[in-house]
Structure 1
Amino acid sequence: MAQGELAHLGVTDDEELAYRAVLRSPGAGVEALALTVGMDCADLREVLDRLEKYGMVTGADDRGFEATDPFLVMERLVEGRLTALQEELQQVISSRRLVNVLLDDQREGRRQSLPDGVERVEGADRVRARIDELAFFVHHEVASVQPNGPLTPAAIEAAKEADLRALRRGTAMRTIVRTDALADGQTAGYLTELAAQGAQVRTLDGPLERMLIFDRRTALVPIDPQETSRGALIVHQPGMISSLVTLFERFWSTARGLDHERLTNFEQQVLQTMVRAEKDDAGARDLGISVRTYRGHIAQLLRRLGATTRAQGVLAARDRGWL
């Protein structure tokens, strides 16, 4: 074991050196240990005092020092470090709550300065910064429509990190793209990766309106749909938000999932039978398969849906447009 490997547990190099010296020379006094570690007796005495406080050694000058069993020492050190990390995490969480409070104040100020509930943001960098801010503090869901076909590499790079971070936090994400966007390898790969992390991605033909909706409270639309580089309008007004949510849901209800999200014909039959049949033996008989096989197909469907019960599975299947 190299010197300094206990540093991440809060033990200094001198403390580790002294503890290991006591392990190798049980019963040795300060003078003997000082010769071993190459430290001044007074300095070593201070180190040993700290080790006694940590419970890593016991003893006194007149009878020498004994090292506490390494297993107990490591258990105490790890427990102490975990406690410290938990306290640090609580401080981080508290800081984030404070940021939310400050952002609420900022948003309230914006709303008061914008009687119509619409904020105008010009310039690609400023728009990206506002999107990052809204995405970072979203609590429930991000809904988006990308109407212009394949995404550019720059757009994918700008959005990918924030999207994956939101999904890791458990944020729901629903995205609609034009069907022809999947013909582009980079776009298809990006959307497939999002779907693998829990996002719901659907495709739709025909005209679409670009929008980003955060928690059904704030939305972002382009100033000029034909020239998105001009900037964006950030909408806070409840009536306008409601209209945008309704439009998004209309798009979503007619859009189709990615190929790997869609069911085979037989899987669709199993799902519909599960909803209709009151008993498994009746459902299996309708499909011409054994009850065991029927239940196996249902279990596989529930896993794909991330559901633990059939009732949850039905709701999740409806959300995905499978029913």
Structure 2
Amino acid sequence: ALWTVRAVLAEDTAWAGAGHEVAWGQLPAAARPVRTPPAATAVPRRGEGNVILLGPGTFDATTGTLGYLDGVLLRGPRLEVWRAPTDNDEAAPRQPGRSPAAEWRRLGLHRMRHRVDAVETLADALIVRTRVAAAGAEPALRTVYRWTARRELLRLEVSVEPEGDWPAPLPRLGVRMAVCGSVGHAEWFGGGPGEGYPDTLAAARVGRWSMPVDAMQTPYVRPQENGARPGVRWAQLSRTDGSGIRIEGDPDFYLTARRWPVEELDAARHTTDLSPGELVWLHLDHAQHGIGSQSCGPGVLPRYRLEVAPARFAFTFSSLR
């Protein structure tokens, strides 16, 4: 629970009317309750064709990839560390060629390969072991996806262990997935209504927000990473009839939703280069690198850098009916 304190004008002025909000702030009203993961009661089993069934999920038995959630078509989720570099990521006026984006590209973070090492079915879980790395590169992220379920819920626990030497921070750390484009309305409890990143959170007020996916983009002059909603406890993506999916984070996460994948956003030079596709692409980020001000000033402050380190995070998925 949070206290929201607002300062508003008591009467009309020459520059704004009575009730105009001058400032606001939020303070915790009570300790947040500890989240208890849902008990795993479903047993993985082989279905017709090359699939594994677990609770409401249908998985590819070869890759361990989730394909359907209670009949809702999905792609992913899988680990994602790349973001379309911002103007600040690209700029380093005092050190040409040493911008964060240049370092990320040298590491190959824009071309990561996902090698599946094992797909294991246990009594109460589906385990997918992968190695995520750029082709021919030594640094890697050993990533384990642990899926558990009960009849109506599907839980994903992600464990990430770095390998090798990582000389630069990551742009982001989380998972990305795609859902049918008809799931075009977003509702969430977390920061909003606009975007917020680790060092730009001051304008993101925690609350319950709702808007079309198409309204979640920040229209920067040059297309780049944008639109993350911070501190999201849960989010719902729905169709006009109310059906869709619900996602709960453990812990909170950054939610980004758009109608083009990050590769197309990265390649675009003008907003007219971006064409909505048939899917809605979701980023559920455990962490983000800060934005900084390197195009005209200092880079990201140390406390907002996303240094490479072991990480654990989880999401619970369910369908809306």
TM range (shorter): under 0.3
Q: How does the TM-score come out when normalised to structure 1?
A: 0.21
Q: TM-score, normalised by structure 2?
A: 0.21
Select the structure of larger CA radius of gyration: 1
> Which structure: greater strand fraction?
2
Asked which structure has the greater RCO (Cα within 8 Å, sep 6+), the reply is 2
